[in-house]
A and B are shown apart, each in its own frame.
Chain A
Amino acid sequence: MFVGAVTGVFGLSVALLLLYLVRKDHLHVSHGLWWTIAILLFATLGFAPSIFDQLAHHLGVNYAPVLGISLAIGALVIKALMSDLESTKLKVSQQRLIQKVSLLEADLQELSEKPPIDD
């Protein structure tokens, strides 16, 4: 029971921290959503671990904590993969912008070196 309360309180604290980070613009709301769901689930299961025992029983898992650990690892792998997909998209976008800036700067340089147009 004590362990459940600790994990529950921990989950709620992290959920509050996430809300704070979103509020202060340190974390984009799209990332905050994922973590909020994960942490609230974590807190719920922390306060009521018997839900897990029942779920494990229904799924035929003999030792309920293994189910929790497996699900947590699965969720983290998916999250890590999503982060890499996002990072790839950002890298390409950033690289293209840098290239574009260099081309525009070259244009600007060439224009500034040209003599003014006569009327």
Chain B
Amino acid sequence: MTQYDPLKRALTDQSAAIIMPAFNEQASITQLVERIKECSNRPIWVIDDFSTDATAKYATDAGARVIRLPEQLGAWAATQTGLRAAHRENMACVVTMDADGQHDPADIERLMAPIISGTADVVIGSCPERGSRLRHLAWWLMRLASGLSCNDLTSGYRALNDKAIALMAGPSANHLEYQDIGVLLMFERAQLRIVEVPVQMPNRADGKSRIFSSWLAVIHYMAQTLILGASKRRRPTVKFRKSSTRS
């Protein structure tokens, strides 16, 4: 009898999927899905976050499977919907990526490689060079508050194995607003092996960020993220060594 090995299943095209949350991306979704199809044979799942334009139709026409949310939940909850679908369908691996063209589909298989080889549970497509000085200051503060050591804390370009998928599909992950440090802290707490793979990330085509849309939004995001990081950071493990001799 052959023993079931979930990692080996990732070698087959249909046991891994590419998950993309999308909100009003009709201008770029067709091109992006076409480009992904050139780079990978994995099924593409677009989670339409209650778009008001024709994102869902364009994605379907381009050949993606579309899951439409009946209400807008935000990028993380949309991604999690895809992860719940992946968990239900016993996927061995998924790659999550943004639909705004920031993530190059050419890196998909590179991100999946450590999962397939069994050397990592989570792979982060990392590009710490990107962003302004302000973003780097924000990352430094986030690292300080959370105790995380990753170089790229906010990258949504990640590959997850079945263990990480199961963790993210659970209700605990519904408490998170964003896909950054809260998710990484959950991975760390579950003692999953995290690996960073360097990737290139060009600036967004429209140059706009959904999170950093205004200064008020930045302050709100940073306050929430820092509170989350400080409250969920892992306590340092204190090891007591027994002395063999008495003074």
Contacts and interface: CB of A to CB of B under 8 A. Distances in A.
Size bracket, chain B contacts? 10 to 19
Given A88-B175, A103-B84, A103-B85, A98 B65 contact: no
Contacts of B88: 103
A87 to B, nearest CB: 12
B67 A106 contact: yes
A8 B131 CA distance: 62
Nearest to B65: A106
A83 B67 CA distance: 33
B168 to A, nearest CB: 12
B70 A101 contact: yes
A95 B175 CA distance: 10
Nearest to B172: A92
A54 interface: no
Interface string A73-107: 00000000000000010001001101111110110
Contacts of A96: 171, 174
A92 B71 CA distance: 14
B225 interface: no
B123 to A, nearest CB: 24
A101 B71 CA distance: 10
A113 B3 CA distance: 36
B68 A95 contact: no
B211 interface: no
Which 10 residue pairs of A and B lie closest in terms of their CB atoms, listed nearest first? A99-B81, A106-B67, A92-B174, A102-B69, A95-B174, A102-B67, A98-B71, A103-B85, A101-B70, A95-B77
